[in-house]
Amino acid sequence: MTTPVVNADVELDETPGLHHRIAAEAFGTFVLVFGVIGTALFASGNTGLLGVALAVGLTVIGAAYAVGHISGGHFNPAVTLGAAAAGRFAWKDVVPYILAQVLGGILATTLLSVVRSNGPANLGTFGDVSNGFGLHSPGNFTLVGVIVAEVILTAIFLFVILGVTDRRAPSGFAPLAIGLTLTLIHLVAIPISNASINPARSIATAIYGGGDAMGQLWVFLVAPVVGALIAGFSYSPLFESRKA
């Protein structure tokens, strides 16, 4: 998505190997989860909803500029599946990418749990920042409301990603557009479900969030994937003209 800065004295392979790409995905997802969940746990009392939403956008922008040119900057299993559905990504690499993303997210929350255990007692809990519906929704939204919101918002996110990375789009701005869109999406979704849009983020917090978070996790695996696939399969018919 971006043009890497290359030392003229060092010759680099223009096509990163799979191991480099999955390392980049693990790193990017780690940065994303560490940034947004760290803000939600430690700073949301001071920054509020806007601070958490900005944290996720800023982490995506930074990570995408850092390693997006290596892996494509997915950092999200839903993005990987949506890109594959759109024909922008090889299906054979989907599983390695998703595994790297999940592991990167879990590493982030594991280290955050260490930080939290060495902090004051009044910090937020992983249950507070896990995704949920009903009594576990910040705004007490029902299962249906949460599913609809997560599907729609993830689809919007994928449409933006596919649009700004289209060969016809202006180059160099994709990370900014993607990060700002994700900020907007979180402003809408945090009061509804604590904003998943990303199964790796949901898994990473649920494993430390307790039984209720784990019990409701399935929603935040299924709904974002459905939204991503809707966008992935429909982007080309809707927005790309084909020559006869």
Q: List average pLDDT for each run of 10 residues in the chain, which is 244 residues long.
A: 36 77 98 97 87 96 96 97 97 98 98 96 93 97 98 98 93 94 97 98 97 97 98 95 60
Residue 7 resides in a domain: no
Q: Does any domain span residue 11?
A: no
The DSSP code sequence of 115-140 is HHHTS-TTS--HHHHS--SGGGSTT-
Residue type at position 157: F
User: Is 5 a member of any domain?
Assistant: no
User: In this structure, is residue 1 part of a structural domain?
Assistant: no
Buried b (16+ CB within 10 A) or exposed e, 49-87: eeebbbbbbbbbbbbbbbbbbbbbbbbbbbbbbbbbbbe
pTM of the model: 0.92
| 122 inside domain | yes
- Full residue range of the structural domain in which residue 215 is found: 18-236
What is the rounded CA–CA span in Å between residue 140 and residue 134? 5
pLDDT on residue 7 = 36
Domain assignment present for 10: no
- Show the tokens assigned to 18: 């799979």
Q: Longest Cα pair distance anywhere in the chain, in angstroms?
A: 66
- Which residue reads 């996720």 in tokens? 56
Classify residue 119 by burial, with Cβ atoms within 10 Å: 0-12, 13-18, 19+.
exposed
**Structural domains in the chain (count):** 1
Which residues have a Cβ under 8 Å from the Cβ of 23 and sit 6 or more positions away?
100
Q: What's the pLDDT at 44?
A: 77
CATH of the domain at 160: 1.20.1080.10
Give the count of beta carbons closer than 10 Å to the beta carbon of residue 42. 17
Asked if the structure places residue 166 within a domain, the reply is yes
Residue-level pLDDT at 15: 83
